[in-house]
Every structure is written in C-alpha cells, then in structure tokens.
Amino acid sequence: MIALGCDHGGYELKQEIIAYLEKNHLEYKDFGCFSKEAVDYPEYAKLVGHAVAGGECEKGILICGTGIGISITANKIKGVRAALCSDCFSAEATRLHNDANILAMGGRVVGAGLALKIVDIFLNTPFSGDERHARRISKIED
Ligand code: RB5
C-alpha cells in the first residue's frame, strides 16, 4: 500500500500519480488534500509519515510546490526517510543507499513525465542490503 499526500502545490501532480498507480494496479491510500484550495503541507506530511512509520503503508509519496516543506516535516517523524528527488539518479540511489520510504517531489519543479519516471524507479528499486548502507541508516536515528 502506497500512502499519498500533497498540498495545493502538489495536487495536480498527485492526480497524475494516481492515474499511474491505477494503470499499474498498485494499491494506494490518498491522505489528501483533495482540491487545489490552499492548505498547510505539514498536515499531509504528518498523515503520510505516520502511515509509513507505523507500518500501515509500505511507502509514501508526498508532493508540495517545491517538495521541501513536505519532506522537512515528514523527516521529523521517527522511522521516516523521505527523499526529495527531481532526477532519476537520485531516486534510484536513495532506494539503494538510504532505503528511503517516502519520495517527495515538487509539483512546481518537475513535469509529469519526469515525475512518473521517478515514481517508477522509486517503487521498483530495492534497498541494496549492503552492510555499509545498513550501518549508515542505523546511525541516522541512534
Ligand atoms: C505553498 O505555496 C508552498 O509554500 C508549498 O507548496 C511548498 O512549496 C513548501 O515548501
């Protein structure tokens, strides 16, 4: 199950991602927001962050205008490793090296074509499992 969340700056891109997930028969839970009306991104970052950190959802995708505010907020929740990505290399590397469990993007930064490639890579790249990466991840929260 993939947790989705956005603010008004990410609403349109989230709709594109929902279409992608449905086309690929991937289950998701949409935590809002549900329109382009202005809202406060921390609320959605927290809903998705807790869903992922608590195990209700395996991964999450968060989108605000830049991806910055929503990722800063999500990363305050213990167990969340949110990676702000606007390129394919970073999306792959953060899964391989950081075992990132939330992808953050900026709806005003990346176009839908690139964003869907990033989502595809993020969802389909496993953690490398390398000892050095596992050790470094364990040091994030110790
Ligand atoms: C909203 O205008 C904007 O500040 C928000 O979407 C995000 O970019 C914050 O980091």
Can you give the CATH number for the domain in which 116 is found?
Answer: 3.40.1400.10
- Domain range for 86 is 2-141
Averaged pLDDT score across all residues of the chain: 98
What is the predicted pLDDT for the residue at 141?
A: 84
Measuring from each residue's beta carbon to the nearest atom of ligand 1, which residues come in under 6 Å? 7, 9, 41, 64-66, 68-69
Given ligand 1 and candidates 6, 13, 64, which is best to mutate, with the most ligand atoms within 8 Å of its CB?
64
For the chain, the domain total comes to 1
Residue 137: exposure state from Cβ atoms within 10 A (0-12, 13-18, ≥19): middle
Average pLDDT value for residue range 82-106: 98
- At 127, the pLDDT band (50, 70, 90 cuts) reads very high
Q: Which of 6, 33, 57, 64 is catalytic?
A: 64
Average pLDDT value for residue range 44-57: 98
What is the predicted pLDDT for the residue at 71?
A: 98
Whole-angstrom Cα distance, residue 92 to residue 22? 22
Average pLDDT value for residue range 115-128: 98
Whole-angstrom Cα distance, residue 100 to residue 113? 22
Whole-angstrom Cα distance, residue 66 to residue 68? 5
What is the value of pTM for the model shown? 0.98
**Which residue minimizes the CA distance to atom 8 of ligand 1?**
65
